[in-house]
């Protein structure tokens, strides 16, 4: 089974949302349908980063790391280096 840590970018205000999931396509659709209370007001989103992990624990650990980055420029550096 695979897990993903991902970053979405809001088309509305260019903010980022960081999360993890097993089913990336389904999760993005849920965000764009407004089914997540944290992202509902900033719809619509595009996927700008994803990283695959073998375990849920690894995906959560990386998600927490990304959320711990205090400056937007560090997050954008990670995003740009993945493309």
Q: Which residues contact 50 (CB under 8 A, 6 or more apart)?
A: 4, 5, 6, 7, 24, 82
Contact 48, 11 (CB under 8 A): no
Distance from C-alpha of 35 to C-alpha of 73, rounded to nearest angstrom: 28
pLDDT at position 53 is: 98
Residue ranges of the domains in the chain?
3-82
pLDDT at position 70 is: 82
- Could you report the per-residue pLDDT of 41-76, keeping only the tens digit for each? 889 999 999 999 999 999 999 999 999 998 889 999
The superfamily (CATH) of domain 3-82 is: GIY-YIG endonuclease (3.40.1440.10)
């Amino acid at each position: 089974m695979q897990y993903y840590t991902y970053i979405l970018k809001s088309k509305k205000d260019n903010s980022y949302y960081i999360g993890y999931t097993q089913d990336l396509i389904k999760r993005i659709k849920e965000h764009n349908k407004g089914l997540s209370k944290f992202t509902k007001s900033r719809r619509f989103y595009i996927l700008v980063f994803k990283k695959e992990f073998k375990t849920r624990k690894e995906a959560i650990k990386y998600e927490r790391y990304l959320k711990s980055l205090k400056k937007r420029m560090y997050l954008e550096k990670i995003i740009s280096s993945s493309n």
